[in-house]
């Protein structure tokens, strides 16, 4: 497998790990630093699209079916398989626990020292004022989702790149002439 595949997958897996760790940290008391800043979300989105799209393109260029991609992934070293499996499982667990306790409240914002959230309850949609504790709970739930979803997508990108790299390595090896 070429170094570009390893680098691409390593960056995707590293970003996945960081985002999933930050998502898990939202369950600790208090809020994450930089809660009010928009630049972390923008940074994640700016990094996610080129990395994910490049992974999809690499997967398409292999012209392999799902079964071949799975077999290529199974040819990777056990540590790589375990690391990607751990990332995916932790991301899924984060999403399940995040959505299981989710209410109809979302999009928290603070105006003039008062706390507001958007209520998505049917027939009662609109912005409502809530207590500080409810505001923080909604804020943490939103952060958890906004960190876990891209974390899962980065893990998927790492999987696709490593499988595509393994397929490419196998293709190159099969084209070599046999020794005489």
DSSP the chain: --HHHHHHHHHHHHHHHHHHHHHHHTTSSS--TTSS-SHHHHHHHHHHHHHHHHHHHHHHHTT--HHHHHHHHHTS-HHHHHHHHHHHHHHHHHHHHHHHT--SEEEEEEETTEEEEEE--TT--EEEEE-HHHHHHHHHHHHHHHHHHHHHHHHHHHHHHHHHHHHHHHHHHHHSPPP-
| Position 152 confidence tier, pLDDT thresholds 50, 70, 90 | very high
Structure confidence at residue 118 (pLDDT): 81
Looking at the predicted structure, is the pLDDT value of residue 109 above 80? Answer: no
- At residue 37, does pLDDT exceed 70? no
For range 128-142, the mean pLDDT:
78
Q: Does residue 120 surpass a pLDDT of 90? A: no
Q: Which of 44-48, 60-64, 137-141, 155-159 has the lowest mean pLDDT?
A: 137-141
Q: Would you state the pLDDT for residue 35?
A: 58
Higher pLDDT, 110 or 58: 58
Q: What is the mean pLDDT of the chain?
A: 82
What are the structural domain ranges in the chain?
3-102+143-175
Q: Could you tell me the pTM of the whole model? A: 0.80
Which pLDDT does position 83 carry in this prediction? 92
Least confident of 57-66, 115-124, 171-180: 171-180
pLDDT of residue 86: 93
- How far is it, in rounded angstroms, from Cα 159 to Cα 163? 6
Confidence of residue 1 (pLDDT cuts 50, 70, 90): low
Whether pLDDT at 101 is above 70: no
- Give the residue among 167, 105, 174, 96 at the shortest CA–CA distance from 136: 105
Instruction: Give the percent of the chain with pLDDT over 70.
Output: 87
pLDDT of 34 reads: 59
Read off the pLDDT band of 32 (50, 70, 90): low
**Mean pLDDT within 61-77:** 83
Query: Per-residue pLDDT for 103 more than 80?
Result: no
């Amino acid at each position: 497998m070429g170094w570009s595949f390893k680098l691409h997958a390593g960056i995707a897996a590293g970003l996945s790990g960081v985002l999933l760790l930050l998502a898990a940290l939202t369950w600790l008391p208090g809020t994450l630093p930089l809660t009010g800043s928009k630049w972390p979300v923008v940074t994640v989105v700016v990094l996610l699209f080129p990395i994910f799209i490049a992974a999809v393109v690499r997967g398409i260029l292999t012209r392999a079916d799902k079964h071949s991609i799975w077999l290529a992934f199974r040819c990777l070293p056990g540590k790589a398989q375990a690391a990607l499996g751990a990332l995916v499982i932790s991301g899924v667990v984060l999403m399940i626990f995040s959505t299981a306790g989710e209410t109809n409240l979302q999009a928290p914002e603070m105006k003039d020292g008062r706390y507001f959230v958007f209520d998505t309850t049917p027939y009662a949609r609109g912005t409502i004022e809530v207590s500080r504790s409810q505001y923080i709970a909604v804020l943490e739930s939103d952060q958890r989702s906004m960190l876990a979803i891209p974390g899962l997508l980065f893990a998927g990108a790492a999987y696709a790149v490593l499988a595509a790299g393994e397929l490419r390595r196998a293709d190159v090896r099969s084209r070599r002439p046999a020794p005489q």
